[in-house]
Amino acid sequence: MAVHLLISVLIISLASFTYASDPAPLQDFCVAVKDAEAKVFVNGKICKDPNMVSANDFFFPGLNVPGNTSNPLGSKVTPVNVNQLPGLNTLGISLVRIDYAPYGLNPPHTHPRATEVLVVVEGTLYVGFVTSNPADPNVKNKLFTKTLYPGDVFVFPEGLIHFQFNVGKTNAVVFAGLSSQNPGVITIANAVFGSDPPINIDVLTKAFQVDANLKITPCGILIVYVLDIYVEIEPCSLLLMIGMADFCVALKDAEAKVFVNGKICKDPNMVSANDFFFPGLNVPGNTSNPLGSKVTPVNVNQLPGLNTLGISLVRIDYAPYGLNPPHTHPRATEVLVVVKGDVFVFPEGLIHFQFNVGKTNAVVFAGLSSQNPGVITIANAVFGSDPPINVDVLTKAFQVDANVIKYLQGQFWWNID
């Protein structure tokens, strides 16, 4: 009986893991065919003929262009998901730029299919998210908030209601990675009070405990009021790899008594907004090394709130002619934005690189579809392993003289991480 129960628990856990993110790709890439050209309907997009694929299918220009914030909310989201960048199909990640006018608001909303990790480039933002309904009806949903400055990073767990508010007197700009090729967005006020046809008024008066004559309109006009009574809103359930919870903040390895695939969870009662916060990504990395580049990662080791959420972030700095050498991420697709605006996607596990061909410094931010994507720098792994790979293996693999291999193995291979 105990064995059967254990098997059942394992099956449920595997099912939770299976449906917690986009389907895994089964080939190097599956560039999306435009819906109008598709003859078959699938969960996602069907694939373009691989022989017709080009670099432009993985490229999106213009994310340096500010969004138009002249609207009642004073904000504008510019998405780069599979609809704008077809190369993202099956790769489980996307990107957005968000612009905020002074006191502009990205109103309370959810992403039903994605965790979001956000980095502030300009301005001062007050951000927060609300947990789902607690098991105890006498306990309120918990709000986690933080004021962010340029370089700060914050993570919003999948399916939870969250918002950003520009509390400064100047414009603000952020970039954010999301752990789905098409994360979706449900703006709470719009969905509840602006649906077509409208939700039955008896439903809303009972849910929000207000008189039927009270006029509530969409587009965030009464956002403060909505926030005051959000406990009546039930956000989407969040299926996590280890069970059902809003988050699983990682314990430091030194404090963990159990070894698991990932990190074990911190006591939820001990969790604070700081567990979802990382400061300082505005600080340039030190590129005074042989490669002329520096990667500053924000993964689960730096930001414990990312545990189980399937996404992370990096900043990469390049000196003139600096190189991020050929490498792979064994557990993640990477979608990268040059701070000047262009976006490019590198499919999971494929060898890729970046090279600054300009005479000035360059900076990028990138989202990766794993809390701990890993990195394998090809030169370091092949020629700098300890112990070294057998010379006979490498001479045959690279078809060069053994002295060339011995020379390469004798070099110091710089790790830019």
Work out the pLDDT band at 79, boundaries 50, 70, 90. very high
Helix, strand, coil share (%) of the chain residues, nearest 5: 20, 25, 55
Is 106 part of any known ligand binding site?
yes
The mean per-residue pLDDT over the stretch 387-405 comes to 91
Residue pointed to by tokens 């792979």: 328
- Cβ pair 148, 210 in contact under 8 A: no
CA dist 131 → 118, 141, 162, 182 (Å)? 18, 5, 9, 23
The structure tokens listed for 190 are 């719009």
What is the Cα–Cα distance from 355 to 22, expressed in whole angstroms?
30
Per the prediction, the chain carries an average pLDDT of 83
Tell me what percent of the residues of the chain surpass a pLDDT of 70: 85
Work out the pLDDT band at 16, boundaries 50, 70, 90. very low
CA-nearest of 98, 149, 99 to 124 is 149
Work out the pLDDT band at 21, boundaries 50, 70, 90. low
**What SS3 state is found at 197?**
coil
The mean per-residue pLDDT over the stretch 111-115 comes to 91
Instruction: Give burial (CB, 10 Å; 0-12/13-18/19+) of 295.
Output: middle
CA dist 66 → 74, 174, 356 (Å)? 12, 11, 24
* Residues 6 or more apart in contact with residue 302 via CB below 8 angstroms: 278
Residue pointed to by tokens 């972030």: 313
Task: Determine the pLDDT at residue 333.
Answer: 94
Q: What element of type H or E holds 352?
A: strand 352-355
Superfamily, domain 2-278: Jelly Rolls (2.60.120.10)
| 20 vs 117, more confident | 117
Residue-wise pLDDT for 179-212, tens only, equals 999 999 999 989 888 999 998 888 888 788 778 8
Is 415 part of any known ligand binding site?
no
Task: Determine the pLDDT at residue 243.
Answer: 35
257: number of CA atoms within 13 Å, CB side?
1
Is 111 part of any known ligand binding site?
yes
pTM for this model (two decimals): 0.81
- Cβ pair 340, 64 in contact under 8 A: yes
The structure tokens listed for 72 are 């009642």
Phi, psi of 277, deg, nearest 5: -125, 140
Q: Is the pLDDT of residue 150 over 50?
A: yes
Residue pointed to by tokens 């933002």: 125
Q: Is the pLDDT of residue 232 over 60?
A: no
Is 4 part of any known ligand binding site?
no
Work out the pLDDT band at 229, boundaries 50, 70, 90. very low
The mean per-residue pLDDT over the stretch 37-57 comes to 85
The mean per-residue pLDDT over the stretch 48-55 comes to 92
- Cβ pair 18, 12 in contact under 8 A: no
Task: Determine the pLDDT at residue 416.
Answer: 67
Residue-wise pLDDT for 243-296, tens only, equals 346 778 878 876 766 767 778 888 888 999 999 999 999 999 999 999 999 999
Phi, psi of 22, deg, nearest 5: -60, 155
Task: Determine the pLDDT at residue 56.
Answer: 96
Q: What element of type H or E holds 394?
A: helix 391-398
Is 162 part of any known ligand binding site?
yes
**Domain range annotation of the chain:** 2-278, 378-417
Instruction: Give burial (CB, 10 Å; 0-12/13-18/19+) of 163.
Output: buried
- Cβ pair 65, 341 in contact under 8 A: yes
